[in-house]
Structure 1
Amino acid sequence: MPRVICAGHVNWDVTLRVDHLPEPDGEAAIEAQSGAGGGSAANVAGGLAGLNVATDIFGSIGDDGHGADVEAELADAGVDCETLVRADGPTAVKYLVVAADGRVMVLGRDGVNEAFSATDLPAERLAAADHLHLTSHDPETAAALVDRAHEVDVSVSFDPGRRVGDRGFEAALDGADVVFLNDREAAAALDADLSPRGRTLVLKHGPRGAEVRTPTETYTHPGFAVDTVDTTGAGDAFAAGFLACRLDGDNYDRALAVANACGALAASALGARTTLDWTAVDRLLDGE
């Protein structure tokens, strides 16, 4: 079984379900409220574990109740939390305002979700992994992790997220073997050299599917039509499905189909962390 280390943000999410996203100076009605673990690294780790991939989480949580709850959720999902850093201070909290049509607005209180450095990941743990998946966090830490992974022949993927245009991720992007971007992120990263030269570029087009660009080929998949409830975490579920397939030796066509199915399952459920499993994925792939 392949082993993946997911590095980046580990948060507590508060989801506010509203009737609509208000305009400036406007107001919306809160129809429901819930709390659960979130953060891109944690979301991908949970998705991979659900797809039977051995997964470690590398990030930082606070010494508060939210941190304890996040760790317990990840452990219950089958994620190995030994490399999770416990820092003094509050766990990061994200407030996800979700409209009836699935659109999302995010408010954040960062807390200690970047209170870890590349050297906090034990060398033997990294060397034992088959793949390192990076999500948005401190750019210098991300770049150092890319270098450390390549020194021990561990492949790297990077999903920089919505802040790709303003956080200085050029070094990590340049060193990653696989880069995940949605349309808005790709536009924001125009100053970076994202040509497939020696790497795989995965472009997520939301309800219009996705494509893979390699140095020699382009692959596409149209996606799946589902009733969108909440798009939070759909990209993380997509990445989990893609990586699970590629690490198992599947081709790009299969990986794109499974990734789009995972993203669609996440978009059709409330909350950032969707429980993924092969039964649900195969049912969507088979058109049930």
Structure 2
Amino acid sequence: MVEVITAGHVNWDVTLRVDALPHPDGEARIDSQCRSGGGSAANVAVALAGMDFDAGLVGSVGDDETGEFARRELRAAGVDCSHLLEVEASETTTKYLIVDERGEVMVLGNEGANEAVAPADVDPEYVASGDHLHLTSQRPDTAAELARVATDAGVSVSFDPGRRLAERDFGEALAYSDVVFLNDREAQTLLDSDLEHPSSELHGRVVVVKHGEDGARVDTPGASFDHPGFDAEAVDTTGAGDAFAAGFLAVLLREGGVLGPSADYERALEFANACGALAAMEEGARTAPTFEDVGAFLDGQF
């Protein structure tokens, strides 16, 4: 049994810290490098496990050495990997994250194995066993099947479609989602006109729009809340959005559900912004804080 299932990409990250992002035909100095697991679905699962949730993961890796490294890290973090597919004769997707001195990120990656999970690979019993399903970027047909199965089983669904939203038709998965996470660029892509009231455009869903260092906004059918974010010195923004999503969901799930009558979206937004800020202050994609870390951070802000 798991409480939260995340589904989507599982990567191996190579993070290169440089003095500046190079221009075409330019060159930059590498100040440091590190290697670790990544991918939004994996990052959120690890973050939730660190917040004492029983987290499971639906995704795929290759049968190579980096795939084994990724699996070991996830298991060590307490994530259930029983539905992490190993693809024969395939490479684990590797992302090269180039981070400048301001914490801004440029990403390069191979296709790899991280979208090998097809609709036929979805295990309805496993999805139905959770209290919540969180979707991240993946094959649209697989995302739709996961969301449909969860909805039919009475499991709430959130979706953070990520930077490839403009290239893919996630309409069916979005139609089943209860909570949608977007950044400013994604909101402009998805929403026709009303950026102030995205919930009405998305037929009453809870919509969270992330503004980076300027905080975030949550819009619900009944109310909207803004939070300006925190004045944090960004070291590496890789994974900050995943930490944000994990923090937002953690507060709501701990209080009875993402759509329950006691759902405190304003508190969830503040907590999520703190998670994102703390993650951006550390190197790497797997830096999501614990509840205690966030509590200490918030105590120091007020």
Is the CA contact 2:214–2:229 (under 8 Å) kept in the aligned structure 1? Answer: yes
Equivalent position of 2:182 in the other structure? 181
Residue in 1 that maps onto 2:142: 141
**Structure 2: gaps spanning 5 or more residues:** 256-262
Deviation at 1:191, TM superposition (A): 5.2
Residue 107 of structure 1 corresponds to 108
Distance in 2 separating the partners of 1:181 and 1:32: 31
Q: How does 1:1-288 map to 2 (within 5 A)?
A: 3-88=3-88, 89-190=90-191, 195-249=201-255, 250-287=263-300
Q: CA offsets per residue over residues 11-57 of structure 1, 9 Å max, x none?
A: 00000110000111111111111100000000000100011111001
C-alpha displacement at 1:196, in angstroms? Answer: 4.5
Letter in structure 2 aligned against 1:229? V
SS at match of 1:287: helix
RMSD: 1.6
- Measure the CA separation in 2 of the matches of 1:216 and 1:203: 16
Q: Does the 8 Å CA contact 1:10/1:61 hold for their aligned counterparts?
A: yes
Listed one character per residue, the Cα deviations across residues 150-202 of structure 1 (whole Å, up to 9, x for unaligned) are 11111110000011111111221222110000111112223598624231000
State the secondary structure of the residue aligned to 1:168. Answer: coil
Q: Helix, strand or coil for the counterpart of 1:162?
A: coil
- Tell me the amino acid that sits aligned with residue 8 of structure 2: G
Give the TM-score normalised by structure 1.
0.96
Q: CA deviation at 1:227?
A: 0.8
- Matched position secondary structure for 1:36: strand
Structure 1 unaligned spans of 5+? none
The 8 Å contact of residues 128 and 149 in structure 2, kept in 1 or not, is answered as no
Asked if the contact 2:127/2:146 (under 8 Å) is kept, the reply is no
Cα shift at 1:128: 1.1
Q: Give the stretch that moved more between structures: 192-201 or 77-86.
A: 192-201
Shift of 1:82: 0.8
Q: Partner letter of residue 119 of structure 1?
A: A
**What is the CA distance between 1:275 and its match in structure 2?**
4.0
Q: Secondary structure at the match of 2:186?
A: helix
Q: Distance in 1 between matches of 2:51 and 2:119?
A: 27
User: What is the alpha-carbon distance in structure 2 between the residues aligned to residue 144 and residue 270 of structure 1?
Assistant: 35
Residue 63 of structure 1: how far off its partner (Å): 0.3
CA–CA distance in structure 1, aligned partners of residues 141 and 124 of structure 2: 18
Is the contact made by 1:2 and 1:248 (CA closer than 8 Å) also made in structure 2? no
* Identity %, equivalent residues: 56
Give the TM-score taking structure 2 as reference length: 0.92
Could you say what secondary structure the match of 1:258 adopts? helix
Which string of whole-angstrom CA distances, capped at 9 and with x for unpartnered residues, describes residues 86-145 of structure 1?
Answer: 111100000000001101000011201011123323222111100100000001111111
Matched AA of 2:10? V
* Contact persistence 2:2–2:129 (CA under 8 A): no
Preserved CA contact (<8 Å) 1:221 1:257: yes
Q: Are the counterparts in 1 of residues 122 and 145 from structure 2 also a CA contact under 8 Å? A: no
